[in-house]
Amino acid sequence: MNLFRPTPEDLLPLAKTAAAEVVVRPSLSYWQNAWRRLKRNRRAVVSLYTVLLLLLFSYAAPLLFALDSSSQDLTQLSQAPSLERRSRVVDPMPWVGRFAAHSPAERLAVVENLQVVGEPHTEFVRLIWSPVAGASYYRVWRHILQPSGATDLGLPLGDTESVDQVSFEDLLKLETVTYYYSVEAVGPDGQVSPYSTVKVHPRHGISVEDAISRGLIKAEQRERAIGTEVTLKPHLLGTDYLGRDMLARLVRGGQTSLFIGVVAPLLFVSLGVVYGGLAGYLGGRIDEVMMRFADFVIALPFLLFMILFRVAMGIGPGESGIVPMLLALVLLGWPSAARLVRGQVLQLREQPFVEAARLMGAGSTYLIFRHMLPNVMGVVLVSLTFAIPSAIFTEAFLSFIGMGVAPPTPSWGSMCNDGVKSFMSHPHELLFPALMISITVLAFNLLGDGLRDALDAKIDK
Amino acid sequence: MKTYILKRLLSGLITIWFIATATFVGMHMVPGDPLANPKATSPEIQKNLEARYGLDKPLVTQYVIYLGNMLRGDFGISFTQKNRRVNDIIREHFPVSATLGVLALLIAAGGGVIWGAVTAVYRDRWPDAVIMLLVVVAVSVPSFVFAMLGQLAILKLNELMGFSLLPVAGWGSLSHMWVPALVLGLGTMAYLTRLMRSSMLEVTNADYIRTARAKGLPGLRIFFKHQLRNAILPVVTVLGPAIAAITTGGFVVELVFAIPGLGRYFVQAVQQLDYTVIMGTTVFYGAFLVLMVLAVDILYGFVDPRIRVGKRGG
């Protein structure tokens, strides 16, 4: 075995060199160090970029693009997202329809030759069929699925008005989806013939008057324009139930939601810092009374009192309801930050460096601003980051039950509330705002996790 | 222990009084007059009505009457529903909310403990990664989206099976409860999973676990008797806030699934400005939550013998 056997020479001190005294690594302050650690956390960095993107989306997009979140496009209600924006210009002249003489018969036969007249589009769909002997009128149904039987024909559109009429014009809120029209003949005693079905996929149509009023065609070209195609205003993410552009509303809604979600926590965390800092710094009896009050406010059931305060403050006509919501959030949100800061300040007060500063004659102001505040900033920042998603959730929850911002001001929560009603037929109206809320909350949650890890110097590896 | 319970009970009562007062102040800030009628009522009738509801008395007297009524457990008569006392509304609809809440809490607590333990055991391997990803998603998606998705899932399932496996909405049997309770408990379950995971990891490195291992105890016995039992303790402490989250979360779930619970009536009352129902339900919920948190705290004292709560004081 070759063991190391030190000789006395090995134990002599080395000569001091200048190189040993040089600090190789740059000296980092607490915040520089935290920032360095945050940058190493990939999830936190991605979240940070996401948050910046969301802010850009809501606040910079309106500067770059003309977005109109309130104008209603009644020809494009609940449009699913698509790039197809061509529309046929049509003349919605009253249609006379088709009439045919009827002969009497014992039994009703099936309706035959059911077909569409002309091109079907969303302004009207016109149907004709051959007369059925013995029928006194016909009943027309519309379904969005293939009918599976005589009891599953969908929406009853109406009955023909005279015995001889063998046509029907559907003007009822047509969309560019596939419809199944069914027609059955009804006899004098109410007996019904077997139905026949035709599958129709209407394209988008716009009436010529509408096209003129939108400036898509000139009034003097009226006659020539009928039957041509025009390009409508694009709706990249579709429209809502009033035909308002979803993208524009998401941007405007983001302004509301992010404003409430960021400003309210900023306000109540600052209030909590002042309150808790004061309680902790003063200590003794004042501290006890102040914190007892904070305990009471914490014990209030949060959402119930959010609703109560929201009701109490009310919304006047023409107001958006953002301020009452902010106030309610601030009134109820501050105690948790106050508790946190008080605990920190109580600990700091006993720290040797604070005592040393005091012994050296530091005044209150110096102690607070030089020693207390910088040392509580870390936890405050983390609790602020976690307060933001919960404020956004609260806004969404209140808007969802109709206690949030007042229409027509959009917020992601109130858009979800609107979208719920037509979730089954037009899922995009709920999906997009819900997705925005989820992405925002997720980003702030992950950023908060990252910040907490980065600011906690003890777990540095 | 006895003094501790007494102290906590007293502070709980003061908290309930504070909630009642805050509710009173809040409701009196509401603009408008509950007796204002779109049709012109003669001043005499208006006066009589005010006298009937005690609104002609000074605010302090009204407050005293209100506190007296609350103490006797009388929440008054609904403003919008004919001949219905608020007490009846609570008595009728709270059991529904409570049933749903208990089921949701069981699902949340059970799921949280199980998933939390699983993630801790498989730390940094794929089950841990998958479950923690789901947890992050569950806390980031608003509850009403889960409620809608739950309903959609039932619809699709019924379509797929060809018959009605689960009812889409409504109330009555146990089959009505599963999906709403799961949706309701989801957020809390995610939170508890996180908590259970970190608490399990903390316990894993404890000295007594190492000792148990060194003694040669079988792994399963260590896991259940030493690790799990100690790791569950922090979960017990947050059950109080969890109950609060589940009760108020019930509003949305009851709305979406058309469940006749108290939450749905509260939202309805708020939308119709039914003053007495809003006040009564708020105070009732507040008192309920305070008592629940209190019960959990006392329970914690029994569960964890290390905590000498009595000596520490409230």
Per CB-CB distance under 8 Å, the chain B contacts of A300 are 18-19, 22, 286
Per CB-CB distance under 8 Å, the chain A contacts of B270 are 307, 311, 401, 403
- Which residue pairs, CB below 8 angstroms and at least 24 apart, start in A48-55? A48/A443, A48/A447, A48/A450, A50/A439, A50/A443, A51/A440, A51/A443, A51/A444, A51/A447, A54/A254, A54/A258, A54/A436, A54/A439, A54/A440, A54/A443, A55/A258
Please tell me the predicted confidence (pLDDT) of residue A1.
63
Verify that A163 and A269 share a domain, yes or no: no
Nearest to B286 among A300, A400, A401 (CB): A300
State the average pLDDT over residues A294-322: 78
Calculate how close chain B gets to A411, using CA atoms only, in Å.
Answer: 14
State the average pLDDT over residues A87-99: 75
Verify that A406 and A268 share a domain, yes or no: yes
Which of B144, B184, B197, B284 to mutate to test binding with chain A, by most A CBs within 10 Å of its CB? Answer: B144
Please tell me the predicted confidence (pLDDT) of residue B314.
36
Strands (E), B176-293: none
Of B20-34, B154-168, B182-196, B286-300, which one has max mean pLDDT?
Answer: B182-196
Contacts of A354 (CB under 8 A, 6+ apart): A348, A367, A371, A372
Q: Establish if B267 touches chain A: CB-CB under 8 angstroms.
A: yes
Return residues 112-141 of B near A (CB < 8 Å): 136-137, 139-141
Q: Nearest-CA residue of chain A relative to B274? A: A311
The torsion angle over the Cα atoms of residues B26, B30, B34 and B38, rounded to 10 degrees, is -170
CATH of the domain at A188: 2.60.40.10
Of A93-107, B200-214, B295-309, which one has max mean pLDDT?
Answer: B200-214
Which of A401, A415, A442 to mutate to test binding with chain B, by most B CBs within 10 Å of its CB? Answer: A401
CATH of the domain at A264: 1.10.3720.10
Is B23 in Cβ contact with A400 (below 8 Å)?
no
Verify that A154 and A290 share a domain, yes or no: no
pLDDT of B98 over the 90 cut:
no
Percent of chain A scoring above 90 in pLDDT: 9
Verify that A282 and A427 share a domain, yes or no: yes
Per CB-CB distance under 8 Å, the chain A contacts of B247 are 301
Pairing label, strands A86-90, A205-207: parallel
Q: Can you tell me the distance from the alpha carbon of A295 to that of B14, in angstroms, rounded to the nearest whole number?
A: 11
Out of A134-138, A139-143, A251-255, A292-296, which region has the weakest mean confidence (pLDDT)?
Answer: A134-138
Is B32 in Cβ contact with A314 (below 8 Å)?
yes
SS (H, E, C) chain A: CCCCCCCHHHHCCCCCCHHHHCCCCCCCCHHHHHHHHHHHCHHHHHHHHHHHHHHHHHHHHHHHCCCCCCCCCCCCCCCCCCCCCEEEEECCCCCCCCECCCCCCCCCCCCCCCEEEEEEECCEEEEECCCCCCCCEEEEEEECCCCCCCCCCCEEEEECCCCCECEEEECCCCCCCCEEEEEEEECCCCCECCCEEEEECCECEEEHHHHHHCCCCCHHHHHHHCCCEEECCCCCCCECCCCCEHHHHHHHHHHHHHHHHHHHHHHHHHHHHHHHHHHHHHCHHHHHHHHHHHHHHHHCCHHHHHHHHHHHHCCCCCCCCHHHHHHHHHHHHHHHHHHHHHHHHHHHHCCHHHHHHHHCCCCHHHHHHHHHHHHHHHHHHHHHHHHHHHHHHHHHHHHHCCCCCCCCCCCHHHHHHHHHHCCCCCCHHHHHHHHHHHHHHHHHHHHHHHHHHHHCHHHCC
Please tell me the predicted confidence (pLDDT) of residue B312.
44
Verify that A62 and A98 share a domain, yes or no: no
What element of type H or E holds B76? none
A28 inside domain: no
A434 inside domain: yes
Calculate how close chain A gets to B136, using CA atoms only, in Å.
Answer: 7
State the average pLDDT over residues A386-398: 89
Q: Can you tell me the distance from the alpha carbon of B212 to that of A44, in angstroms, rounded to the nearest whole number?
A: 38
Q: Can you tell me the distance from the alpha carbon of B148 to that of B169, in angstroms, rounded to the nearest whole number?
A: 11
Nearest to B267 among A401, A413, A445 (CB): A401
Encode pLDDT of A184-196 as tens digits. Answer: 888 877 778 888 8
What are the residues facing A170 on neighbouring strands?
Answer: A125
Contact A318, A407 (CB under 8 A): no
pLDDT of A266 over the 90 cut:
yes
Nearest to A308 among B23, B256, B293 (CB): B23
Of A162, A183, A207, the last residue of a domain is A207
Percent of chain B scoring above 70 in pLDDT: 92
Nearest to B15 among A296, A303, A413 (CB): A296
pLDDT of B34 over the 70 cut:
no
pLDDT of A121 over the 90 cut:
no
Verify that A64 and A102 share a domain, yes or no: no
A107 inside domain: yes
Calculate how close chain A gets to B279, using CA atoms only, in Å.
Answer: 9
A23 inside domain: no
Return residues 311-340 of A near B (CB < 8 Å): 311-314
Verify that A63 and A156 share a domain, yes or no: no
Is A397 in Cβ contact with B252 (below 8 Å)?
yes
Name the domain count of chain A.
Answer: 2
Please tell me the predicted confidence (pLDDT) of residue A21.
78
Of A188, A207, A226, the last residue of a domain is A207
Token pair of A89 as six digits: 């210009």
Which of A288, A295, A311 to mutate to test binding with chain B, by most B CBs within 10 Å of its CB? Answer: A311
Is B139 in Cβ contact with A445 (below 8 Å)?
yes
Cβ count near A134 (within 10 Å): 18
Contact A325, A260 (CB under 8 A): yes
Instruction: Tell me the backbone φ, ψ of residue A116, rounded to 5 degrees.
Output: -95, 135
Grade residue B310 by pLDDT with cuts at 50, 70 and 90: very low
Please tell me the predicted confidence (pLDDT) of residue A441.
92
Q: Can you tell me the distance from the alpha carbon of B120 to that of A286, in angstroms, rounded to the nearest whole number?
A: 44
Out of B117-131, B156-170, B218-232, which region has the weakest mean confidence (pLDDT)?
Answer: B156-170
Per CB-CB distance under 8 Å, the chain B contacts of A437 are 141-142
Burial-class residue B13 by CB neighbours within 10 Å (0-12, 13-18, 19+). middle
A213 inside domain: no
Is A437 in Cβ contact with B29 (below 8 Å)?
no
pLDDT of A91 over the 60 cut:
yes
Q: Is the model more confident about B113 or about A150?
A: B113
Please tell me the predicted confidence (pLDDT) of residue A316.
66
**Alpha carbon of B217 to those of B202, B208, B220, B223: distances in Å?**
20, 12, 9, 10
Determine the structural domain holding residue A400 and report its residue range.
43-69+242-454
pLDDT of B202 over the 80 cut:
yes
Please tell me the predicted confidence (pLDDT) of residue A75.
67
Per CB-CB distance under 8 Å, the chain B contacts of A314 are 30-32
Q: Nearest-CA residue of chain B relative to A300? A: B19
State the average pLDDT over residues A366-379: 85
> Residue holding tokens 């699902």?
B107
Of A180, A207, A234, the last residue of a domain is A207
Please tell me the predicted confidence (pLDDT) of residue A461.
42
Picking from A446, A339, A341, A327, the residue whose alpha carbon sits closest to that of residue A389 is A446
Please tell me the predicted confidence (pLDDT) of residue B311.
45
Verify that A268 and A140 share a domain, yes or no: no
A214 inside domain: no
Q: Establish if B244 touches chain A: CB-CB under 8 angstroms.
A: yes
pLDDT of A146 over the 60 cut:
yes
Percent of chain B scoring above 90 in pLDDT: 7
Cα–chain center distance at B249: 7
Verify that A114 and A179 share a domain, yes or no: yes
Is A400 in Cβ contact with B252 (below 8 Å)?
yes
Q: Nearest-CA residue of chain B relative to A403? A: B271
Pairing label, strands A179-186, A196-200: antiparallel
Nearest to A300 among B22, B139, B247 (CB): B22
Return residues 373-402 of A near B (CB < 8 Å): 389, 393, 396-397, 400-402
Contact A407, A72 (CB under 8 A): no
Nearest to B142 among A295, A301, A434 (CB): A434
A149 inside domain: yes
Per CB-CB distance under 8 Å, the chain B contacts of A299 are 15, 18-19, 286, 289-290, 293
pLDDT of A129 over the 90 cut:
no
ipTM of the complex: 0.81
Verify that A197 and A270 share a domain, yes or no: no
Q: Can you tell me the distance from the alpha carbon of A160 to that of A1, in angstroms, rounded to the nearest whole number?
A: 111
Contact A310, A244 (CB under 8 A): no
Q: Establish if B22 touches chain A: CB-CB under 8 angstroms.
A: yes
Return residues 422-441 of A near B (CB < 8 Å): 423-424, 430, 434, 437-439, 441
Contacts of A318 (CB under 8 A, 6+ apart): none
| Mean pLDDT of chain A, nearest integer | 82
Please tell me the predicted confidence (pLDDT) of residue B37.
59
A189 inside domain: yes
Please tell me the predicted confidence (pLDDT) of residue B36.
63
Cβ count near A26 (within 10 Å): 6
pLDDT of A49 over the 90 cut:
yes
Contact A377, A312 (CB under 8 A): no
Verify that A320 and A189 share a domain, yes or no: no
pLDDT of B9 over the 90 cut:
no
Please tell me the predicted confidence (pLDDT) of residue A457.
58
State the average pLDDT over residues B211-223: 87
Verify that A58 and A193 share a domain, yes or no: no
